[in-house]
Structure formats: C-alpha cells, structure tokens
Amino acid sequence: MNKRVLFVDDEQKVLDALQRMLRPMRDKWDMKFVSSGQNALASLSTEPFDVLITDMRMPDMDGVQLLKEVRNVYPEVVRIVLSGQSGGEMFLKSVRLAHQYLSKPCDAEALRATVERACTLRDWLANNTIKRVVSSMESIPSVPALYAEIVKALESPDVQVGRVATIIARDVGMTAKVLQLVNSAFFALPQHVTGITQAASLLGLDTIKSLVLSVQIFSQFEEKKMSAFNIDKIWRHSLRVGVAAKAIMKREIKDQSAIDDALMAGTLHDMGKFILAANLPNEYVHIKEVAEMENITLVESERKLLGTTHAEIGGYLLALWALPDSIVEAVTFHHSPDHCLASSMAPMAVVHLADILEHQCRSGIKEARGRGFDERYVKKYSDDRIAAWRDICEHIDREESDNDG
C-alpha cells in the first residue's frame, strides 16, 4: 500500500514547492498538504496517515504544539520536523516530540529516503499496539544507578565531557538517545557518528546539561520493573556483547568505522527487551512463562504471542530515530542474520555471533556451534574462527568477574 504522508507549513509557496518537487513520488505516496496545525489535526481525525512532516514556526498552533497533540492522540504516526529554524531553543523544544529532523531546503531524495527508511520496519510489525508503543517513546529507560550518576555528574561545576561520555556509554537508553540527537539535521554533520565520546563532544556539555537537567530527555526504570525483569542482567549482557562485537570485528578487519558500529550495535542489540519491559510488563512476563513451559526460546515465544520479536521492535525504534543502517540491521537481524543481505563481516554478523557466544560462555557451553546459531549463516565460518571468537568472549567475562571481585 502507498505510504500516506501529511505535510504542514503555513507558507503556501513552501507547500507548492514541495508538491512540485515530490510529484515523481505520487505512485508510491498519497500526499496531502495543509497550511496549519489545526488543519493537520482535522485531516488526521478523518484520514489515516503514516507520516507527518511539519514546519516548526507557525502562527496559532506551532510545530511543538502540533507534534505534542499528534504524539498523544495518534502515536503510531511517524513525526518528522522539516524546518529552516535550527537554533538551540527550537531543538530543545522538539527533541522529545520528533522522531527525526530535516533542514530546509531539503531535496526530494533526502525526503524520500527519510520517509522510506522510517517506515520500512514498520511494515514488519503486525501488532498495532507495538507500533503505537514504539512510536510514542521519547527515550529508553535507564538503569536507576546510572541515571542518578549522570545527573550528579552534570550538576557538578567541574565535570568534563569525557566523564559524561563514559557514563552514557554504559547505558543502553542514553546511548541510543544521544546517537539519535547528534545525527539529526540540527547538527548538519557530513557523516554519521557512532562513537559516544565524539557524540558527547559534538553536543557539548551545555547542550547535554540542558537535555538531561531541564528537558529531562533521559528516564529511569521503576524499581519494581527492575526486579521483575532482571534489567540489570539484560544491561550487563548488552554491554558485554558490545565489547565482544567490537573485539571480534577488530580481529577480522581494520575499518575503524565498522569497529565503532559493531560496539554500538552490540550495546543496543537487546533494546527491544527494554522497550517491552518498560511498556508491556505483563505481556513480557507471560512471554517468558510460555517460553519456559513450552521449552522454546524467548524469541519463539515473542513471535507466537506478539507476532514480532524484541529484535524487530528495537530495530524499528532505531530506524525511527535515524541511526545508521548498519546498526539498525544488526539490531533487527541479530537472531536471524540469514534474512539480511549484509556482507559477511558486517556489524550484524559479529553481533549475532557475539550474542550467542556470550550466552554460551555464561552457561559454560564449550561446543563449537549450538542452539541459537543461525546455521545457514554461520556455516560460512570455520570452527577455528568461532573458537577464537569464543576465546575473546571468555576473556571479557573473566575480566568482568575480576573487576566485580
């Protein structure tokens, strides 16, 4: 089905220009152009739309008010800002409300790519509740101790950006949100940033302080959910997989960009579990119970009960937030790499391997292959290589045990 896209701008000449520019997309998009936030809400009340693309500075109802209303009433709609106003104040106002940011002027190809990319994984999610939950999320909740740690650090007058980056890098939710923000059009960077130290430096301490202390862009898990889902265990596993994926990639190739992407993808690979635990706790408990009763994997239980998996849920949010394709595909396909067309040593491949090997190391499993590996995909690797990668994971586990001890 064609994507339905609603454009909002108070300047008729801008709407006319968009119509002319996007005329070649009429066979793929059903587009409507309106001149005010009120007209946009009226359209949404009578017609279904997949994407809203809005200006920010408009009379009567500005972009911030419109985005807030759409998020609350139509949370499944993808919300994109297209504005010539890229100042800090506007950024801070919209940062909790928009999935993506584009700057005027914006060419047709950039618009097309943004909309198609944001909607691609959406079609995989047959569960409408999941779509609404993911689209309405402003952030992934953090481990309370890390949330308290970053707030305390930023309240200190002597804090350095390196210290802030170190805290962010240890948390799945903070990492994902910072990467979303630094890669937005507000910063107009020539290439994607996946290193947290670089991202924190580019944002700057003043912006990070405003985001955390004033806008409260990060949130924290409730303690009762922490205990019910053992969030600490999922968090530790995510960090170990990130470190292992980086080490495996570094052993295989010398491309620093791919190495950085592997670290970030590994760290974020289970963020779908955080989304489920934070938003659908009762359903997640039932999923785990069914997996245990029927002796099936958690992924199989998710597919059975939700029609999707935590991998696809996490990938969908990262796609909405416009993270690099290599990270999105690694998160989405880390349990099913054979479904992806990526090259053999893409971040997706090493995250799949690091995830399984890390689980095996924790369980004391020594076999070269086993449950969890996508055999059709992993058969391209020799047992010797897999053994070397397992050594990497075991070394990481030993180092963590020594540090904990």
Q: What are the tokens at 364?
A: 């004391």
187 and 108 in one domain?
Answer: no
28 and 80 in one domain?
Answer: yes
Structure letter (DSSP) for residue 255: -
Report pLDDT digits (tens) over 87-113: 566 677 788 899 988 888 888 888 998
d(Cα 345, Cα 144) in Å, to the nearest integer?
Answer: 35
Report pLDDT digits (tens) over 365-389: 665 555 567 777 777 777 888 888 8
163 and 61 in one domain?
Answer: no
230 and 371 in one domain?
Answer: yes
Q: Decide: residue 170, CB within 10 A, 0-12 exposed, 13-18 middle, 19+ buried.
A: buried
> Residue 138 domain-assigned?
no
> Residue 188 domain-assigned?
yes
370 and 229 in one domain?
Answer: yes
Distance of CA 246 to the CA centre of its chain: 19
Report pLDDT digits (tens) over 49-94: 999 999 988 988 999 999 999 999 999 899 999 887 655 666 777 8
Do 377 and 338 form a contact (C-beta atoms < 8 A)?
A: yes
Q: Structural domain of residue 389, as residue ranges? A: 224-404
pTM of the shown model: 0.88
> Residue 133 domain-assigned?
no
Report pLDDT digits (tens) over 182-239: 887 766 676 788 889 999 998 889 989 988 988 888 888 877 666 667 888 889 999 9
> Residue 132 domain-assigned?
no
Where among 164, 188, 214 does a domain terminate? 214
Residue 343 has pLDDT above 70, yes or no: no
Q: What are the tokens at 240?
A: 């170990």
Q: What is the CATH number of the domain that holds 101?
A: 3.40.50.2300
69 and 113 in one domain?
Answer: yes
Do 283 and 348 form a contact (C-beta atoms < 8 A)?
A: no
387 and 248 in one domain?
Answer: yes
207 and 88 in one domain?
Answer: no
248 and 153 in one domain?
Answer: no
Total residue length of the chain: 405
Structure letter (DSSP) for residue 376: H
Do 371 and 335 form a contact (C-beta atoms < 8 A)?
A: no
> Residue 261 domain-assigned?
yes
298 and 393 in one domain?
Answer: yes
Rounded percentage of the chain residues whose pLDDT exceeds 70: 90
- Max Cα–Cα distance, the chain, nearest Å: 66
Where among 93, 124, 155 does a domain terminate? 124
> Residue 309 domain-assigned?
yes
305 and 197 in one domain?
Answer: no
- At 64, the amino acid letter reads V
DSSP string, 102-152: EESS--HHHHHHHHHHHHHGGGG---HHHHHHHHH-S-PPBPHHHHHHHHH
Domain count, the chain: 3
d(Cα 187, Cα 405) in Å, to the nearest integer?
Answer: 42
> Residue 131 domain-assigned?
no
Where among 214, 242, 262 does a domain terminate? 214
> Residue 95 domain-assigned?
yes
Closest to 52 (Cα-Cα) out of 65, 271, 378: 65
- At 250, the amino acid letter reads K
Alpha helices in 137-222 (DSSP H): 144-155, 161-169, 172-182, 196-203, 205-209
What was the pLDDT predicted at 143? 86
